[in-house]
Amino acid sequence: MEGKSMLKLSHVLAFLLLASLFQSLMARDLISDGIEVLQLPVENDGEFVLCPGKQSWPELVGKSAEYAKQTIQKENPIVHDVRLLFPGMPKPLNYICGRVFLAVNFKLIVRVSPTMG
């Protein structure tokens, strides 16, 4: 039993020694190194938004998918990924800034208001 407790103690000491060697990561250090840091939601007219810029485009319902894609990318420059969702396809549940899903029919006409995420 004594050997196991000594082994555990040696693991704890090794961990503490290694942990003391690493410099703590701080957001200001990352920013000064030019690394992009995820910003917390900002308040916009009393409403918290995760991503900057326009978030939804209800005016594109009934328009072609190509026209909708061009309009979305023009109105919000952070949008870098516009994906089509055909009938029956599930929309992923993870939220990603810069991604917009276009729910279209088989004629590539937008059927649901596109939103960021």
pLDDT tens, 22-70?
Answer: 655 555 555 555 655 555 555 556 566 677 888 899 999 999 999 999 9
Structural domain contains residue 48: no
Structural domain contains residue 45: no
DSSP summary character for residue 106: T
Taking the C-alpha atoms of residue 96 and residue 79, their distance in angstroms, rounded to an integer, is 10
Task: Record the pTM.
Answer: 0.58
Q: What is the pLDDT of residue 12?
A: 83
Residue 62 and residue 97 in one domain: yes
Q: Which residue range is the domain that position 14 belongs to?
A: 1-37
CATH number at residue 93: 3.30.10.10
Structural domain contains residue 43: no
